[in-house]
Structure 1
Amino acid sequence: MRPMRGIFYKICSVVMFILMASLIKATADHVPPGEAVFFRSFFAMPVIIAWLAMRGDLQTGLKASAPMGHIWRGVVGTMAMGLGFAGLAYLPLPEVTAIGYAAPLLTVIFAAMFLGEDVRLFRISAVVLGLIGVSIVLSPRLTVVPGPGNDGASLGAMLVLGGAVFAALAQVFVRKLVLKETTSAIVFYFSLTATVLSLATIPFGWVIPAPREAALLVLCGLLGGVGQIFLTSSYREADASVVAPFDYASMLFALAIGYWVFDEVPTMTMLIGASIVVTAGVLIIWRERKLGLERAKQRKAMSPQG
């Protein structure tokens, strides 16, 4: 285990994904979200295939023993991506990022519901705290009073929140898939499934992107593929509990890009809500690490050598 390298890879992945979201936002006024999903997924596949070939995993890494599991993971993951991309057209980048932090909180709930995972008072309390933070972020967008600052914002908030729900469901499917499938297969077949599913949105109004937009969308796919490689590599180099908190560095990058590129000034309400969500997420990660250490000690005590 090389934790510092794992942390470095994780931060690199966070940067890639935030840049990717920024490129999607830059084209969102003209390019439909389904079309953006196609570019993000299709142009990520060459990067992933090249990476697998360099590692010598191309032949074995793409074998799938649970094809329906990959399909279902692809369906909910594509929904998450499409809704999140759609929301970028209506909301500031930092706000989309903050609402997206609801996904790991909801994963705790869905894992208990669908996988039978034991969730005790501490994690339940942290989830409730995090959802309160999400509610604070959402509150200005759910007003019924019309105004220039609220045009489409309520729709955007619901789209991003829906994307977080589907992202959490996707993580539940991934937790089931990792018991049978390699990480390489999960990553590749998600991109493949998302590419195919995105084509179903053609009748809903794809456009011919301008040369600049096309270049940004292709770059979006390449960044997504590179980000996925960095993400996978980070978990190979360090425990999940070590690298997972660095997901929240995305807020810093989102605030910087939102301010300097899109002239988005964060509100105090958004910052307070995001801080609460981040705190709740870190508490859950800390608790998971503590439980993992306790389980490791119990296994060691029960082993013949212990």
Structure 2
Amino acid sequence: MSTAPSPEVSQHYLGGIALRLLAMLSLSLMFVLVKRIDAAGIHIVESLFWRQAIVLPMLAGWALTRGGLAIYRTHRIGTHARRAMMGLTGMALNFGGMIFLPMAEATTINLSVPIFAVIFAALFLGEPTGWQRWSAVLVGFLGVLLVLNPTTLVAQGFTGHHGLGTLIALGGAIMTALITIQVRDLARTESPMTIVFWFSLISMLPLGLALPFVMTAHGAGEWALLIGLGLLGAVVQLSLTGALRLAPVAVVTPMDYSSLLWSIACGWFFFGTLPAETTWVGAPLIVASGLFIAWREHRLHIERMKDITA
């Protein structure tokens, strides 16, 4: 959803940063509910269903204040469908990583998304990638390896919740990076809200078909968890989109790393867990790598704009 801000929307950098920070806080709280919902014995498919179902009415209400659902009209329904299936897979993997791992560890692995995105952009889009970004990628990979602690994983044979969770979280990061490439393509012709709308709507089809096979009766407390999950998911989506309307991508993207602080705090407060020692060592490398990639992209964008206006 990284599109340039619309020229009709006045820029407000502090507002964009505030919305991005709100999105990261909401995301961490949403993952707290993901873990609570799993502990209550609710199937992950049902979690995904309500995560998407509650977003749609909000998107519809937003559209009605701006001329109706026609603003979501598209000529690229096939691309949206492919993005929705990829997004649903990525969301399931990210939920799974959070369920099996401590929050801070799963979040740290997910922060490797920009590293994989650089690789995939070079492979699939042919984007030029100089030695500086490749160096940042290598530093980031070193951080990922430290967090994954492959020696321990191999010794354990990838068994148990931790080994399985590590593989799932890594798969989620790789899938999210692939989704980033897909969204870059969609963003050439589609608004961020249109991309979110079709993702939510199309993903409801497989989730709706699977729901009767996994749904169970719930008490008031469990319904509160599921509704809270959907509401927080809506806040995340709308805050991310609003941030991109108020400020450039390069300004708001570095705020994503605040999610690591929130996840450490939430993991300690709600579950009494703290990151493993390897996470404390690897996380700074991943964050530094991602921040450098964001800064480099910003500099390249400025240079491209100078060439266009020269």
Q: Specify the code of the residue in structure 2 equivalent to 1:215.
A: A
Match of 2:305 among 282, 287, 296: 296
- 1:165/1:204 Cα in 2 relative to 1: closer, same or farther (>3 Å)? farther
Q: TM-score, normalised by structure 2?
A: 0.91
Gaps of 5+ in 2: 1-10
Are 1:198 and 2:233 an aligned pair? Answer: no
Distance, in Å, in 1 between the alignment partners of 2:164 and 2:294 is 31
Once the two structures are overlaid, the 10-residue window that deviates more, 135-144 or 26-35, is: 135-144
- Is the Cα–Cα contact under 8 Å of residues 80 and 195 in structure 2 kept in the other structure? yes
CA distance in 2, matches of 1:66, 1:28: 35
Once structures 1 and 2 are overlaid, which stretch shifts more, 204-213 or 83-92? Answer: 204-213
**Distance of aligned partners of 1:199 and 1:159 in 2 relative to their CA distance in 1, 3 Å threshold:** farther
Correspondence 1:46-195 to 2 at 5 A: 46-54=57-65, 56-139=66-149, 142-145=153-156, 151-195=160-204
Q: What's the offset of the Cα at 1:114?
A: 1.6
Please give the alpha-carbon distance, in whole angstroms, between the structure 1 residues aligned to 2:59 and 2:108.
Answer: 28
Report how far residue 188 of structure 1 moved: 0.5
For residues 19-77 of structure 1, what are the alpha-carbon distances to aligned partners after superposition, in whole Å with 9 as ceiling and x for unaligned? Answer: 111111111231222221111111111122222323x1533321111000100000111
Q: State the distance in 1 between where 2:156 and 2:187 align.
A: 46
Which AA in structure 1 matches 2:60? I
Q: State whether residues 47 and 226 of structure 1, in contact with CA within 8 Å, keep that contact through their aligned partners in structure 2.
A: no
Partner residue in 2 for 1:41? 52
User: Retained in 1: the 8 A contact 2:24–2:258?
Assistant: yes
Name stretches of at least 5 consecutive residues in structure 1 with no aligned partner: 302-306
1:242 shift after superposition: 0.6
8 Å CA contact retained: 2:112, 2:286: yes
Question: How far apart, CA to CA, are the structure 2 residues paired with 1:272 and 1:47?
Answer: 40
Q: In structure 1, what residue type is equivalent to 2:198?
A: Y
RMSD over aligned CA atoms reads 1.9
Aligned to 2:36: 26
Deviations 1:227-270 (A, max 9, x none): 11111111111111011000000011101010011111222211
SS for the counterpart of 2:100 is: coil
Deviation of 1:100 (Å):
0.6
Moved more, 21-30 or 284-293: 21-30
**Pairwise CA distance, 1:194:** 2.1
Structure 1 CA distance for aligned equivalents of residues 30 and 228 of structure 2:
8
Q: 1:6 aligns with which of 16, 26, 30?
A: 16
d(CA) in 1 for partners of 2:118, 2:209: 31
Which TM-score applies when normalising by structure 1? Answer: 0.92
Q: Does 1:222 align with 2:227?
A: no
Structure 2 Cα separation of the partners of residues 285 and 143 of structure 1: 33
Of 277, 281, 284, which aligns to 1:272? 281
Deviates more, 1:209-218 or 1:102-111: 209-218
- Given that residues 40 and 221 in structure 1 are in contact (C-alpha distance below 8 angstroms), is that contact kept between their aligned partners in structure 2? yes
Aligned equivalents of 1:208 and 1:102: distance in 2? 38
Residue type at the aligned position of 1:166? M
| Other-structure match for 1:304 | none
What code does the residue aligned with 2:225 have? L
Of residues 123-132 and 276-285 in structure 1, the stretch that sits farther from structure 2 once superposed is: 123-132
Distance 1:128 1:87 in 2: 23
Amino acid at match of 1:37: L
CA 1:33–1:4: 2 relative to 1, 3 Å: same
- Residues paired across the two proteins, number: 298
Provide the residue aligned with 1:17 in structure 2. Answer: 27
Shift of 1:146: 7.8
Q: Is the 8 A contact 2:49 2:211 kept in 1?
A: no
Give the whole-Å Cα distance in 1 for the aligned partners of 2:97 and 2:255.
24
The residue number in structure 2 matching 1:254 is 263
Measure, in 1, the Cα distance between the counterparts of 2:171 and 2:202: 20
| C-alpha deviation, 1:204, in angstroms | 6.8
What is the identity, as a one-letter code, of the residue corresponding to 1:236?
R
